[in-house]
Every structure is written in C-alpha cells, then in structure tokens.
Amino acid sequence: MAKKKINSIDRTALTPNYAPAWFTPVRGKKSILWDEEGNDYVDFGGGIAVTCLGHSHPELIKVLKDQSTKLWHVSNYLYNEPALELSSLLAKKTFADKVFFSNSGNEANEAAIKLARRYFYDKGRPEKHEVVVFTDAFHGRSMLNISAGDSKSQKTGFGPLLKGFKRAKFNDLKSVEKVITKNTAAIFVEPILGESGIIRASNPFLMGLRKLADKNNVLLIFDEVQSGVGRTGTLMAYMGYGVIPDISTLAKGLGGGIPIGATLAKNHIAKAFQPGTHGSTFGGNPLACIVAKKVIEIISSQKVLSGVIKKTISFTEKLNSLSEKYDIFSDVRSAGLWIGCDFKRVKSSDFIQAAYNEGLIVVQAAGEKTIRLAPSLIISDKEINEGFKRFEKAYKNII
Ligand SMILES: Cc1ncc(COP(=O)(O)O)c(C=O)c1O
C-alpha cells in the first residue's frame, strides 16, 4: 500500500480546477509510475489515453533527444522536416490527403469546425454554418468545444456560448434528420463516446450519418482525439467501422505524451485553409512531430495492433471474473484497450482513491459510478496481472 505523505513542494499556486491525488509521480517506465516517496503505481489510466506506448519508451526518447540537439522551433513561415514527414505518414496511413497541426484536441476540433465553415463559405454557401452535435458528447473545454459538448456543468458560468450548434441524439438517426437544414455545414461526432464512458456508435448509425451527410451536402467530422492512434485496435476507430469521414481530429495518443493535435482532411476540403485563414504558433513543432511520427510508426505495426486485441480480451476476462466473484459491475464496455466499467455498489471516486492506496491508477468517467481504463497499448501481461491484484484489493477495502 502506498504511504501517504504530503510532498514538500508548494501546492498553492495552481488554479484549483483539478482535484489531484495526494502523491506526485516523478518517474515512469513502461506501465509503472513512481512517486516522490518511491511508491509504485500500475498505470491503467495512461494519462487518459495519452501514453499509448507507456512511459519512457526508448525509441521515443531517442528521437526526442536527437531532435532536441538539432532544432526546437521555427515559425510556420518555414517548413520543418519532422512536420513534413509526419504529415506524409498520416496521409499515407489514413483517409486524409492533408493535415493541419496544432497542440491539443481542443485546437484540432476548433480547426475542424473552422475548416468546414470556411469550405462552404468558399463555395459561395456562407449560410451553411450550422453543426450537428450529440447528446453526451465531449469535445474539450474551449468556448467552441463546450458549446458543441453536452455537459451542463462544463458550460455553467461561461456564457454566452457559441451559436450554430444543433443537438441530436447519439445513435438515433431520426433525430439527426430532424435537425439537418439547408444551413447545416457539418455533423460532428465522436465515433465512440469517451468521457461519457466508452459508448460505441452503432455501425448502422455511423453508416447512416455518412449517407445523410452525402445526401444533404454536409461534411462528416469525426472527433478521434481519444479513440484514435490504435486505442480501439485499428489505427483510427473509423477504420474498424469502415465509415470514412471528410475531416477527423487526433490528439492525445498521437504524441505518446508530447502535446500535439492534428486535423486531417480530404484535399478538396483542406483547400479552404489558404494562407492567412488559420494558424498556430506551435502547431507542427519539430520536437512534437518527430515523436508523433515514431508513435505512428510503432502503433501501426500489425504486432502492436493485434496485441491491442489480445490485451483487450485479457482485460475484459479479468474484469468479468472479478465481477463474478464480487458482483462489482452493472456493465463493462470495451472498445479495444479503452474500457468503461459501471460499478453497482460503490462510487467511482471512492474506488479511485482506494486504488491509489493500493498503487493503481484508473480514471474517472462521466457519472458517479463509472471508471475508465485506457492503459498503454503495449502493457505487459505481468503489469496487467499486478494491476488486477491491486484492483481486487482496492475493491475489497471499500465494500
Ligand atoms: C473526444 C475528445 N475530444 C477533445 C478532447 C479535448 O482534448 P484536449 O484536452 O487535448 O484539448 C478530449 C479530451 O479528453 C476528448 O476526449
């Protein structure tokens, strides 16, 4: 059990918008983190689906170190080699022809919506500006993304919000048909709701969205900030569905822990981003892009992607057998190594604290009863087994 001790570093100067654990990780290797006291934690949270290759991956460290002695930053008035190479790699491996780089999921989504609106503006259809969004959606915390998202509490006190969003019901095509008008520019959707607890769009729903978009001259935008980069067992979630978007966003796992966002688009749409229309000082940063290129190279290997499927089976079997033993969960949903577990009898916040005490990190999802697991995609069997020993102990401590 991790010993509680208050770190001597001042904790009063950060804004209080997060509620962090009492311990502070200072080092990580593979799927283990160590705090300032030397206590170890099995990381089943992956920094919320970010550290997709675990901590301190030697190949990521190598490319980052090499790049750090060459070039850290140039403005976007100049090309840089890592950004060029990463954009070509993403274009080769996905539906996209072009990529816009930014620093986060928020910015990637902002760029996606701006691109869709500008595309119709350039086509002489400026009235097409509305965006269809969904119940239980989460797209980030910027003004645009809280407006597109469906969380009341995330909007409280921040108005006036952005106009132009029409909400339909997730997994309900009829509700989408009702809100599409001649003014609609885009349908903006997470193929799998992440923050809301790993809820999959059904195949017919995503296919239906594609058809509705085509029929109504509307762009289909997938927010793959959390679902992308191997998380679901394919490089991007759309590949598992076989439904191709017009624009998609990536962030989180893309940098394996280095901040980067990307907005991917087909050529005829990306043309709307002519010089001066949009930009980002740090977007396409060489340090971030060199790491992301290596992440994509590693994750898109068959070995890693088939490993995700095997590990998913291992996680779900272990969760199900724990549930049989203790009657823990009312539901366990997985989309690859991205798993939502609804507790029957305990609050997720109580379990998370108990897990910390036993040296295990899991992540909160929406609601009081749900946790999310989003571990490294290359977590070892040994780490999985150790994590589940701690999971069981933590649960036993609070029932
Ligand atoms: C689906 C989705 N979109 C967007 C975001 C926002 O990304 P960021 O926090 O990197 O801005 C998140 C973050 O959790 C997300 O899950």
pLDDT digits (tens, 9 = 90+) for 232-243: 999 999 999 999
Question: Which protein residue's CA is at the shortest distance from atom 6 of ligand 1?
Answer: 140
pTM assigned to the model: 0.97
- Please say if the pLDDT value at position 4 is more than 70: no
- Please say if the pLDDT value at position 2 is more than 60: no
The set of long-range contacts for 74-80, using a CB threshold of 8 Å and a minimum separation of 24, is 74/286, 75/281, 76/279, 76/280, 76/281, 76/283, 76/284, 80/284, 80/286, 80/289
Spacing, Cα 308 to ligand 1 middle (Å) = 22
Question: Which protein residue's CA is at the shortest distance from atom 2 of ligand 1?
Answer: 139
Domain 25-56+302-398 and domain 71-299, same fold? Reply is no
What's the CA angle centered on 398, arms 37 and 393, to 5 degrees?
60
Spacing, Cα 6 to ligand 1 middle (Å) = 30
pLDDT digits (tens, 9 = 90+) for 184-207: 999 999 999 999 999 999 999 999
Between CA 192 and CA 43 the distance in angstroms is 22
**Residues recognised as catalytic:** 138, 223, 252
pLDDT band at 231 (very low <50, low <70, confident <90, very high): very high
Q: What proportion of the chain, given as a percentage, has pLDDT over 70? A: 98
Between CA 126 and CA 297 the distance in angstroms is 39
pLDDT digits (tens, 9 = 90+) for 47-59: 999 999 999 999 9
Domain 71-299 in this protein, CATH class: alpha beta
pLDDT band at 291 (very low <50, low <70, confident <90, very high): very high
Q: What proportion of the chain, given as a percentage, has pLDDT over 90? A: 97
E strands present in 190-253:
192-193, 199-200, 219-223, 247-250
251 Cβ inside 6 Å of ligand 1: yes
102 Cβ inside 6 Å of ligand 1: no
Mean local confidence (pLDDT), 91-112: 98
55 Cβ inside 6 Å of ligand 1: no
Query: In the chain, what are the domain boundaries?
Result: 25-56+302-398, 71-299
Under a CB-based contact definition with an 8 Å cutoff, are residues 213 and 187 in contact? yes
Residues 6+ apart with CB under 8 A from 351: 343, 362, 371, 394, 395, 398
- The CATH code of domain 25-56+302-398 reads 3.90.1150.10
Spacing, Cα 382 to ligand 1 middle (Å) = 30
Between CA 217 and CA 298 the distance in angstroms is 37
pLDDT band at 378 (very low <50, low <70, confident <90, very high): very high
Between CA 338 and CA 93 the distance in angstroms is 22
Spacing, Cα 48 to ligand 1 middle (Å) = 10
Question: Which protein residue's CA is at the shortest distance from atom 16 of ligand 1?
Answer: 226
190 Cβ inside 6 Å of ligand 1: yes
Residues 6+ apart with CB under 8 A from 187: 131, 132, 176, 180, 209, 212, 213, 218, 219, 220, 221
Beta strand 40-43 pairing with 32-35: antiparallel
165 Cβ inside 6 Å of ligand 1: no
